[in-house]
Amino acid sequence: MSELKNDRFLRALMREPVDATPVWMMRQAGRYLPEYRASRAKAGSFMDLCMNPELACEVTMQPLERYPLDAAILFSDILTIPDAMGLGLYFETGEGPKFKKTVTTAADVDALPIVNTLQDLPYVPNAVRTIRKELNGRVPLIGFSGSPWTLATYMVEGGSSKDFRKAKALAYNDPGLMHALLDKLAISVTEYLNEQIKAGAQAVQIFDSWGGALAHDAYREFSLKPMQKIVDGLIREYDGRKVPVIMFTKGGGQSLEAMADTGPDALGLDWTTPISDARRRVGDKVALQGNMDPSILYAKPERIRQEVAKILADYGHGSGHVFNLGHGITPEVDPANAGAFIECVHELSFQYHDDK
């Protein structure tokens, strides 16, 4: 594997000195880019795009051709694991992901296989290898998975949900059954991320999109505990380098200390928790990633600059900050505004670092 030309992102995750704050965007390869829409049309469908390593590589590289980002992220979907479990993932235009089968009974959970990535999802490690080769050491590659709780909500609800009524009812009425489902998912996700690491992913992120929908104690039981199992089982050093782990719970600001205690290298923050408050609470235990509201990118470049400056100042001096949005970039954002955002992070962050 090629030596990294820019390892700012990995160094910041390990809280090592950097010359400037690194930046990437969740969903940076996506519908806000016209070149992505062209690639998706060429693929025929979203899943066809995910399952073709060459096209997944093509769209992973697209934002890096436009912007001086400090990391690439594997182009895939969080629902690959439930799909490999045989639930029949499909996408309805304008409605998001749906499953042909749902998980509601003990028999349903018993019937679910543990996913073997190399057999059931070979296109994912193949895409990682293809992207690493294409990157040629330019920036690090991030692998990822959905968290067990987030995956379980889709599997029980049959798709997206506003209130997670069915998933929460299952968790509260039959916690043993929900834990059986979460255990299968935790085992599958751990193996899935480890295969991404072995294929070349240099950092991994666990996306807990819906953990914040749970009450405080329920979050710790049904979301954080399964993520702890994953963190405990991950390969943390590979190919002569540490492999940092980022844990991101949207809406999880009230549980940062408990999240830090599970052992990741970094925590992702959404925009509802001030980064100064988060840094004070977790100290030097973990790095922080975030946390600009993606909607700021609808504003004029001078307003974007003000927000970047404020977040950098709120974090303050020193390493341990990876600048990101507090959630994924939205499809209607002007690509020029995304470019202005990334440029501002690099330009304004030098003053907070001694390693120039």
User: Assign residue 123 a region: left if phi > 0, alpha if psi is -120 to 50, beta otherwise?
Assistant: alpha
* Residue 205, domain member (yes or no): yes
List own/partner pairs for 16-19 with CB under 8 A and 24 or more apart. Answer: 16/319, 17/319, 17/353, 17/354, 17/355, 18/319, 18/353, 18/355, 19/350, 19/353, 19/355, 19/356
CATH value at residue 58:
3.20.20.210
Nearest by Cα to 68 from 37, 23, 1: 23
| CA-based nearest residue to 179, from 138, 212, 142, 148 | 148
Q: Which of 19, 37, 40, 138 is catalytic?
A: 40
331-355 pLDDT per residue, tens = 999 999 999 999 999 999 999 998 6
Label residue 217 exposed, middle or buried (CB < 10 Å: 0-12, 13-18, 19+).
exposed
Exactly one of 154, 192, 219, 315 is catalytic; name it.
Answer: 154
132 noted as active-site residue: no
Kindly report the backbone phi and psi dihedral angles of residue 325, in degrees, each rounded to the nearest multiple of 5, phi listed first.
-80, 160
Q: How far apart are CA 197 and CA 109, in angstroms?
A: 28
Say if 95 falls within a structural domain: yes
In the three-class reduction of DSSP (H, G, I as helix; E, B as strand; rest coil), residue 167 is classed as helix
Q: Which residues pair with 143 in a beta bridge?
A: 204
Whether 238 is catalytic: no
- Both tokens of residue 276? 């100064």
- pTM across the whole model: 0.97
Rounded-to-integer distance, Cα 216 and Cα 241, Å: 36
For residues 24 and 284, what is the distance between their CA atoms, to the nearest angstrom?
Answer: 22
Name the burial class of residue 96, with classes exposed (0-12), middle (13-18) and buried (19+) by CB atoms within 10 angstroms of its CB.
exposed
Tens-digit pLDDT profile for residues 272-331 = 999 999 999 998 999 999 999 999 999 999 999 999 999 999 999 999 999 999 999 999
83 belongs to a structural domain: yes
Residue 280 falls in the annotated catalytic set? no
Residue 308 exposure: Cα atoms within 13 Å on the Cβ side: 29
Confirm whether 77 is a catalytic residue. Answer: yes
132 in a labelled binding site: no
Query: Catalytic annotation on 220?
Result: no
Per-residue pLDDT of the chain (356 residues; tens, 9 = 90+): 568 999 999 999 999 999 999 999 999 999 999 999 999 999 998 999 999 999 999 999 999 999 999 999 999 999 999 999 999 998 877 778 999 999 999 999 999 999 999 999 999 999 999 999 999 999 999 999 999 999 999 999 999 999 999 999 999 999 999 999 999 999 999 999 999 999 999 999 999 999 999 999 999 999 999 999 999 999 999 999 999 999 999 999 999 999 999 999 999 999 999 999 999 999 899 999 999 999 999 999 999 999 999 999 999 999 999 999 999 999 999 999 999 999 999 999 999 998 65
Q: Is residue 265 part of a domain?
A: yes
Binding site annotation covers 29?
A: yes
174 is in an annotated binding site: no
Q: Is residue 220 part of a domain?
A: yes
77 labelled binding-site residue: yes
Q: In sequence order, which residues have a C-beta less than 8 Å from that of residue 280 and are 6 or more positions away? A: none
Domain assignment of residue 214, given as a range: 25-287
**Catalytic residue from among 70, 77, 208, 265:** 77
Q: Is residue 109 in a domain?
A: yes
Whether residue 76 lies inside any domain: the answer is yes
Residue 110 lies in a domain: yes
Distance of CA 81 to the CA centre of its chain: 15
Domain total of the chain: 1
Q: Is 339 annotated as a binding residue?
A: no
